[in-house]
Structure 1
Amino acid sequence: MLIYYVIASAVTILLLLVFGFFWLRRWMQKSDADYVLKFIANNPKRASLSIVRNGSDFADFQSDELRPLASTVKIIVAIEYAHQAANGEIDVSERIKTHDLSRYYIPRTDGGAHETWLRSMESKEFLQGGTVSLEEVAKGMIAHSSNANTEYLMMRLGLDRINAKLKRLQLPKHEQIYPIVSRLIIPYEIAQKNKLNIFEKADAKKVQTLIEEMSHEAYIDEAINIHTKLNEDHDGSYKEQVNLRAWHNMAFNDTASKRGIRSTTSEYVSVVQKINDLSYFTQAVQEHLRPIMEWPMENHKNQEKFYHLGGKGGSTAQIVTFALYAEDKQGNKTELAIFFNDVLGYETTKLSNSLSAFQLAVVTASSNWEQKLSKLHNAKNV
C-alpha cells in the first residue's frame, strides 16, 4: 500500500508542477498594464518613470536615476541622422549594400532583429540588387531594432557627431554613446592582449575578471577599436576568427548589459518632448525624423486615434526600456519614458509583454489611469 501512496503522491506533485508551469507561462504572456504600475511602485531601485501630458508633469518616479538604456539609445542616432539628412550631408536615397551592413551583424545576438528586417525589405520589394536605401537602414534601426544597422550608422554619421548631440539636446547625465555590437567582442580582444584562450572555461573566467576591473573609459576605447576593425572586415574574416558563438556566455552578456550606456527617464522624456514639439527641430529635420520614429503609425488603428505616435524601446535579459511620444486626434500631447533594470526571468517577460497595454493606458489618459498615476506621483513626493 505504501508504494501506491508514494506513486500517487509523486504523480500529484508532478501534475501540480506541470499545471503551475503552464499557468505561469500563460500569466507571463498576458498583457497587464496594472502589473507595470505596481512593479514601479514596489521597486524604486529598479524602475523609473516620467510622463508629461500637455506640457505638465503627469508622473515622475525615480526620474533622475541613471539606468541602462538598451536600444532606446538609438533615438539619439536617429536624431543625428535626421540633422545630417536635413543639412544635405547624407543622401537618404543612397543605395546601401546589405553586405556592408553585415560587417556589423553577429547572428543570434539581436533576437533575430536584423534578419527580420531583411525579410521585411524583401517582402516589400525594397531590397533591390542586394541594396536598400539609407532611409530604410535608419528605419530598420528603430522599427526593427537592428544593431547592425545602428553600428553602420554610427560609422556613417560619426560617433563624435552623435555624442555632440547629447550636449545640444541638453542631456548632461547621458553617458557617452559607443558601438553596441563591437562591445560584444571585447572579451575576445582582452583575451588576446593577455595571452589567454577565451575558448577555455578557466581562461574565460579570468577574462571576465579583467573586464570587470576595466575603467569605463578603457571599456569604451576598446569598443571603438573593435568598431574600427569591423569597419574594415569586408570579407568577414575578423568575425570568423573571433567566433563569438563558441565562447560568449551569460556572464559576458550580463557584463555587457551592466556596462550599457545609461541615462535617465527625465532626460529621455525631454528628448521625445522635443520631437513632439513642432517648433524645436526645423521642419527639414522633422521631415526626416518623424518617418523614422513614427513606425507605429503604419497601424491603421493608430492612424484612427493619433496624428503622431512614435517611440523606441529596448530590452535584454535584465533590462526593459521605452520612450515614446503621442498626439491624439483631440490635440493632446503625451510623452513617456520608462526604464527597468536588474529584472530577471519572469519579470522581464511580463514587463515586456505588458508595456504596450501600459503605454496605451497612459496615452489615452482615462480618468481611472489619471488617478492611478497621480497616486504614484504623490507617493514619490511624500
Structure 2
Amino acid sequence: MNIYGWIGLSGIVFLTLIPLLNKKQRTREEVEKAIVTVAIVLGIIIAVLVFNINYFTAFLFGVLAMILFDHKTYTKKRLTIYGVLSLIAGIAAYALLRDNPNYVIQHLKENPESSSLYVAENGEPVITYQSTVIRPLASTVKILIAVEYAMQVEENKIQKDQTIPLADLNRYYLKNTDGGGHEAWLEAVKQNGGIQNNAVTLHDVAKGMVTYSSNANTDYLINLLGVDAINQRKTVLGLTQHEDVYPIVSALLIPDSMQKDGLSEKELIDALEKLSMEDYRNLAQSISLQMKTGEINASEAKFDSSPAVQRVWSDRLIGASANEYGKLLSLISNDELPANAAETIRDLMEWPMQLNEENHKKYTHIGSKGGSTLFILNNAMYVENLKGDQFEIVILLNDLKFHEHFLLRNNRNSFERKLLNDADFRNEVRDALLN
C-alpha cells in the first residue's frame, strides 16, 4: 500500500473522529458509526498488508460494508438510489470486464509511438508493427538472464542442484516491488518441500525468477552469473537491438540514495533524468554490490516512491526491440541452443504447461514471460500446437495510463489466444495495423 493509500485511509479516520470532539455530536448512534468506520478501515489495512489483497479491491469492499452498516441505507429512497447506482455500476463493469480482444488492436493502432507487436508463424514474421523500436522490457528481460543461466549450466560453470541460502536471496528482497512474486514463489517451493535447512536449489531460484517473476531472485542471478557475461551473451546471440543489463532491484533504491541530499520531488526527478545511462547503470550495480555485502540492508529499505519517480525508473529499465525477443524465442523454440541448455531453458520457460493441464489439450509447448510496471505491459511467448505449427508473439506496450493498463491486461490473453488459433484474426490484425 503506497503513501496515497495511507493518506486516504487516515483522512477517513480523521474526518470520522473529529466531530466526536463536540459533546453534542457524541451521541450513541454517532459513536457506533465511528466504531464501525474505524473497524472497516482497519479491515482494509489488514486485508492489504496481511492477506495481500489489492488495495483498490479492499477499498471497494470497505465502501460496500459502510453502506450496508448504515441504518439509513434501508429507507425506500436510499434503496432506490443504491439500486440505480448498482445498475450503472453493473453496466460499467460489463463494459470494462467483457472479453474484447479488439481493444488491443485499437490501442496498438492509435499508439504507434509506444507500442510494438511481433508475430511469427513457422519461422516467418507475419506481423512486424513498430517491432524494431527499442522499448523498456521490465521483467521480460528475465528471458535473457534465464538463457545465460542455462548456458552456464551447459558449460558446467554452475550446477542446478547447488544450494542457495535464503538469507543470500533476502539480501536483494525489497518488499512490495514485484507484485508479491517473491512471497508466492517461497510459498510454492515450501509446499513442494524445496526448502531444506533454509536453503533452496539454484534451479528453484531460476524458476522463481521466471515463473513467479521474483526480482530478488533476478538480482541474485545477475550477480552470480555476472553482468558482463549476460551482456556478452546477447552479443553472441546476435541481439544488436538490446541495451545492457543491470540489476533491477537496486535501481529502485537510486532515488533513495540521492534523496539523502534533501531534494524536493521535482529536483529529484530532474537529478535522475540528468544521469547518463552509463552512470545510472553503474550506480545500480554499486548499490547491488552493497546489498550483496550487507552494507545496505534491504529489509530496512523502504520503497515508497511516488508514481512520478517510479516513471523515471520504468523509463530507464533495460530496453530491446520486439524483433530481438522474437529472435530469442525462436532460438529456444527451435532448440538451437546446446542440448543441455535447451532442456534447461525450456524447463524454466514452459511453466504454463506445468501449471495448467488444460494447455496439453491444444499445445505441445508454451513458453512465456511477461513484464509490467505502472506504465508498461509486455509479454513474450513461443507456442507449438499439436499440429506442429510454431508461433512467436512479442507485445511491448509502454506509456500506459491507468485505465489503458487495466483494459489491456484484461484483454491481452484473449487477443493472444485468437492470434494463435485464428488465421483470419491474424490477417485482420495485420491489415488493421498496416492501414
- Pick the TM interval, shorter chain: 0.7 to 0.9
Q: Does 1:244 align with 2:305?
A: no
Secondary structure class of the residue paired with 2:112: coil
Paired letter, 2:255: P
Shift in Å at residue 238 of structure 1? 3.0
**Any conservation in 1 of the 2:371–2:377 contact (CA below 8 Å)?**
yes
1:61-108 Cα distance to aligned partner (Å, 9 max, x none): 111112111100000000000000011110101111112111111111
1:318-341 Cα distance to aligned partner (Å, 9 max, x none): 100011101111010100111000
Paired letter, 1:269: G
Taking the TM superposition and a 5 Å limit, the aligned residue runs for 1:244-323 are: 244-245=302-303, 247-278=304-335, 280-298=336-354, 299-323=356-380
Paired letter, 2:327: S
Paired letter, 1:260: L
Partner of 2:100: 32
Shift in Å at residue 146 of structure 1? 0.5
Q: 1:156 to 1:24 in 2, by over 3 A?
A: farther
Secondary structure class of the residue paired with 1:244: coil
Q: Does 1:213 align with 2:274?
A: yes
**Any conservation in 2 of the 1:104–1:152 contact (CA below 8 Å)?**
yes
How many Å separate the matches in 2 of 1:283 and 1:91?
Answer: 16
Secondary structure class of the residue paired with 1:323: strand
Bigger RCO (CA 8 Å, 6+ sep): 1
Q: Does 1:139 align with 2:207?
A: yes
**Any conservation in 1 of the 2:117–2:128 contact (CA below 8 Å)?**
yes
How many Å separate the matches in 1 of 2:96 and 2:216?
Answer: 30
Q: Does 1:335 align with 2:392?
A: yes
Shift in Å at residue 33 of structure 1? 2.0
Paired letter, 1:293: M
- Structure 2 length-normalised TM: 0.78
Q: 1:57 to 1:340 in 2, by over 3 A?
A: same
**Any conservation in 1 of the 2:185–2:212 contact (CA below 8 Å)?**
yes
Shift in Å at residue 371 of structure 1? 2.8
How many Å separate the matches in 2 of 1:30 and 1:128?
Answer: 45
Shift in Å at residue 25 of structure 1? 4.4
**Any conservation in 1 of the 2:115–2:397 contact (CA below 8 Å)?**
yes
Taking the TM superposition and a 5 Å limit, the aligned residue runs for 1:336-351 are: 336-351=393-408
Secondary structure class of the residue paired with 2:264: helix
Paired letter, 2:425: W
Choose which of 229, 241, 248 in structure 2 pairs with 1:173: 241
Shift in Å at residue 191 of structure 1? 2.9
Identical residues among aligned pairs (%): 33
Of 72-81 and 351-360, more deviation after overlay is shown by 351-360
How many Å separate the matches in 1 of 2:257 and 2:126?
Answer: 46
Q: 1:98 to 1:171 in 2, by over 3 A?
A: same
How many Å separate the matches in 1 of 2:183 and 2:312?
Answer: 25
How many Å separate the matches in 2 of 1:30 and 1:115?
Answer: 30
How many Å separate the matches in 2 of 1:238 and 1:120?
Answer: 25
Shift in Å at residue 206 of structure 1? 2.3
Q: 1:345 to 1:14 in 2, by over 3 A?
A: farther
Q: Does 1:90 align with 2:158?
A: yes
Paired letter, 1:229: Q
Partner of 1:121: 189
Q: Does 1:56 align with 2:107?
A: no
**Any conservation in 2 of the 1:147–1:180 contact (CA below 8 Å)?**
yes
Partner of 2:291: 230
Q: Does 1:159 align with 2:227?
A: yes
- Structure 1 length-normalised TM: 0.88
1:157-214 Cα distance to aligned partner (Å, 9 max, x none): 001001111111211121111110000100122234xxx13xxxx6343222211211
**Any conservation in 2 of the 1:60–1:377 contact (CA below 8 Å)?**
no
Q: 1:258 to 1:19 in 2, by over 3 A?
A: farther
Secondary structure class of the residue paired with 1:190: helix
Paired letter, 2:250: S
How many Å separate the matches in 2 of 1:320 and 1:209?
Answer: 25
**Any conservation in 2 of the 1:61–1:376 contact (CA below 8 Å)?**
no
How many Å separate the matches in 2 of 1:222 and 1:376?
Answer: 43
Shift in Å at residue 373 of structure 1? 2.6
How many Å separate the matches in 2 of 1:219 and 1:20?
Answer: 48
Greater gyration radius: 2
Shift in Å at residue 129 of structure 1? 2.2
The number of aligned residues is: 359
Secondary structure class of the residue paired with 1:322: strand
How many Å separate the matches in 2 of 1:166 and 1:111?
Answer: 28
Secondary structure class of the residue paired with 1:107: coil
**Any conservation in 1 of the 2:290–2:296 contact (CA below 8 Å)?**
no
1:30-84 Cα distance to aligned partner (Å, 9 max, x none): 4432221221122211211010001112211111112111100000000000000
1:141-168 Cα distance to aligned partner (Å, 9 max, x none): 1111100000000011001001111111
Secondary structure class of the residue paired with 2:253: helix
